Amino acid sequence: MLIGRGRELSRLTARVRELAGGRGGAAFVDGEPGIGKTTLLRAVCDAAAENGCRVHWGAGDELGRLLPLLPLLEALRAERSDEGQAVLRLLRGEVPTVLDPSAVAAERVLGMVEELCADGPVVLAIDDLQWADKVTVAVLSRLVKLVDQLPLLLVGTLRPVPVRDDLSALWRQLGADGQVSLGPLPAEAIGELVAQLVDAHPTDELLRHAEGAAGNPLYATELVTAVADGADRPGSLAAAIDHRLDFLSEQTRHVLRAATLLGVVFSVADLGVVLGRTVAELLPALDQSTAAGVLVESGDGLSFRHALVRSALYERMSPPVRTAWHLEAARLLADAGSPVERVAKQLLVASGADDWTVDWLCDNAGALIGQSPSAAVDLLRRVLATPRWDARRLSLASRFADALYRTGDFDEAEQVATRALALSADPVQIVWLHHILLQCRSMSGRVAQSLVELDRALSDPDTTGRVRARLLVLTARAHWNLGDADAAEKTALDAADAAPADEWVVGWSLHVRSIVLIMRGDMAGALELLDHAVRVIGRDGATAELSLLLRINRAVALGGVDRCDEAVAAARDVRQLAEHVGNTVRLAQAQSALVQMSYDSGCWDDALVDVDLLADELKNPVVAAADHSIAALIKLHRGDHAAAGRHLAIVRAAQVGRHPVLHMALATSLELEQAGRLDEALAALHTSADFDDVLPVIVRLAVAVGDLDTARETTERVVELAADSEVQHRIGAAAYCRGLVDRDGEELLRAATAYRECGRPLARAMALEAAAAAFVHSGQSSSARAAASRSLDLYAELGAEWQLARAQSVLRALGLRRGPKVKHRRAKTGWDSLTPAEATVAQLVVAGLSNPQIAERLFVSRRTVTTHVSHILAKLQVRTRTDIAREASLRQAASG
């Protein structure tokens, strides 16, 4: 019986009843150690099981707080399912092409939760969140956003200290409805607890002793038990727990002390490994511990009844004994073939770094860095904290620099890599260290320093062959980063000449040359190089990432020559491949390419869905900025300034360094234009004037403000780009700019025709609008009305509400009024506001299909379905999938 927590239990069991009815939710419990959080959580889980819900329980672990996703993997019983095994293989570094295993694993864990929910209501309970790793907290934050879509009750416990920013943000995300705080039990509840403990009416003396517990039920339980057994009143909770443990045999206490090395929750098999005993030999001690209330069952293993019970036993050992035993446990677990994370848990709390630890890290540092760079930093810092590095430590130094880079400590990563580079004679390691230094310095705008060091290395007569070629590749990339396209191109050619049989060198050389051509606007030339690169490189671990990058750039180049269907198919293919191999960097880039293609082709609703498919934290800042810039543009065109402002705030907060973001400039300019600040809108585009798509906008704004010199100069550039070109959007841009400058309606109609041929409806609408104005000025009223009508139709089809209203106002001032073909503006809420894709998903939700089932039915990703459902909920202004079905029934009834 749960004493003194009736109000809190009632709040949480109401959530359980809602869950049984199909409505998800989230609620976390906070309070000091021993206040009853875990007891309350177990009571909620028991209520859920009684209501037919499946319960999955996991817990944070103080020893494993640097290792990603352990509480969730425990809760989901990962070792029992194929998908769980795949996640574990990712985290253990057994999938070598994955760049960010923890990020990919997090996505798959989300999928596992959704799959569970497809079979009915699920309670996911995570105890002791204060010890959870950051990846787990990030996944929980995303699940909180999904509980409206899933029959999922997310519950957890945490202590108010230590204060963590990510947990504080998660707590705020829950809102008041999801925050349950436990304070001390009132005196009458403590009296009831004491009566239950002694199974009799408590004496006044016993109650006075209980008052010393200050309302903490764990302390009260231990204190009363000790006094009832004849002991003097313990002076602290630890002393009270010690009293309970004193009644156990020495053999049992020895087993329990070993168990404390493994954490609050532990595997009996691992305990056997640490003690060198069979399960049968451990059984008497484990039975006695369970009977004494020290241990309880927890999933497939055992758990200390409370973390403070473990702490009392653990802290009885002197620190030197604990350290030595942790190190011995690490060796025994490694010898038994235990996974990297279990060995690392022991090493992380063992001080020092003996030869065995160094050897183990030499064999396992790569896997550990992939799984938990923070844990790797901790261990590698320890083994490298010596004045001199032997050969093994020198080999680990580059690993240390890599781990530091991945954790965002670019300054120390650079320091470590610089020291290692000065000591290393291994050519392969030298190339890798230069690579790390280039990455670190690119984050701080100091690529020029790397260029100097690369030139120095290349001037060494001993730098020849493959090593020289690879250093030349890095040099070419440095030149590109510094904006020296000519030097980048020349050095890339030199690299390929130096090692024509090295696929890595040839592939990167072709990549650098292709992006130089893309920047110059030679999409056809870039496409030729990219096609060649895709053919010549393999798909082994060394070139797998490069292969994805080349295919993404190829898709972009295809779009640049208006081979739009091929471009979309190529981007989708590489997105699927990137997702399959777990390369989130390239997945985000492929997704971003699709966002731009959807924007250009007028599929704006698809673009907005695609922007939301991947969390921003999984994207490079430049990619995230590009995505949100396009979303902002769409929202500005549609007149939704509040939403546009939210996207632009994300863009402006992104650290994009020297990289210009095309659509960021366009969105900023459009925002200024909508504010009536046309001169500033024009000025905002000058830094991005190298981009094709910016030039026609510059001409339009220059004409609008009367800056005809700029309009004519820019038109000359656009015409030059279109010369001898078969690319329709360039032909259209040249005709559009000439038409604007010369106020030539026929030329603007030719622009509209070219834009129609390449499938760019917004550009076509603007060309037609300009043509209508030109025809008015030349007295061709029928041509003006026809162009105006089609222009307004296109704006309406795009949902470009602001553009539509602006164009109507401009055309009205010219004497052109919208005829009877006026289309209704699209609704912003309700069923009529759903896009065709959303309507299809909504029908399948009403039919009772889960998100994974809908994804399988429609041949789209689970993320796409999740995003569609989020948009449907917002547009219908309802909370859950059940509400969608109810609204559909009401709509059908209302329609007769």
Mean pLDDT of 802-817: 90
Helix (H/G/I), strand (E/B), else coil: 29? strand
What Å distances lie between residue 35 and 12, 26, 181, CA to CA?
17, 21, 10
pLDDT score for 670: 95
Helix (H/G/I), strand (E/B), else coil: 237? helix
What Å distances lie between residue 769 and 308, 722, 762, 780, 812, CA to CA?
73, 22, 11, 14, 12
Please report how many Cα atoms fall inside a 13 Å half-sphere around the Cα of residue 113, on the Cβ side.
Answer: 30
**Which of 149-163, 329-343, 352-366, 570-584 bottoms out in mean pLDDT, i.e. has the lowest?**
570-584
pLDDT score for 818: 65
C-beta separation of 102 from 69 below 8 A:
yes
| Tens digit of each residue's pLDDT (9 = 90 or more) over 537-566 | 865 556 777 888 899 999 999 998 999 989
Which region, left, alpha or beta, applies to residue 158 given φ > 0 means left and ψ of -120 to 50 means alpha? Answer: beta
- What tokens were used for 67? 């290792």
Determine what percent of the chain is predicted with pLDDT higher than 90: 55
C-beta separation of 818 from 808 below 8 A:
yes
- What tokens were used for 866? 């999740």
Helix (H/G/I), strand (E/B), else coil: 65? coil
pLDDT confidence of 660, banded at 50, 70, 90?
Answer: low
**Domains of the chain with bracketed CATH:** 6-181 (3.40.50.300), 187-245 (no CATH), 689-813 (1.25.40.10), 831-894 (1.10.10.10)
Q: Which residues contact 396 (CB under 8 A, 6 or more apart)?
A: 358, 361, 362, 365, 380, 383, 384
Residue of 153, 132, 128 lying closest to 54 (CA atoms): 153
Between 299 and 99, the more confident residue is 299
pLDDT confidence of 1, banded at 50, 70, 90?
Answer: low
Between 686 and 173, the more confident residue is 173
**Which of 326-335, 719-728, 760-769, 817-826 bottoms out in mean pLDDT, i.e. has the lowest?**
817-826
Chain mean pLDDT for the chain: 88
Q: Is the pLDDT of residue 770 over 90?
A: yes
Residue of 67, 632, 115, 724 lying closest to 370 (CA atoms): 67
Q: Is the pLDDT of residue 282 over 80?
A: yes
pLDDT score for 555: 93
* Residues 827, 303: Cα–Cα separation, whole Å: 55
Q: Is the pLDDT of residue 620 over 80?
A: no
pLDDT confidence of 822, banded at 50, 70, 90?
Answer: very low
| Tens digit of each residue's pLDDT (9 = 90 or more) over 600-612 | 999 998 898 888 8
Between 895 and 636, the more confident residue is 636
Helix (H/G/I), strand (E/B), else coil: 266? strand
pTM above 0.85, yes or no: no
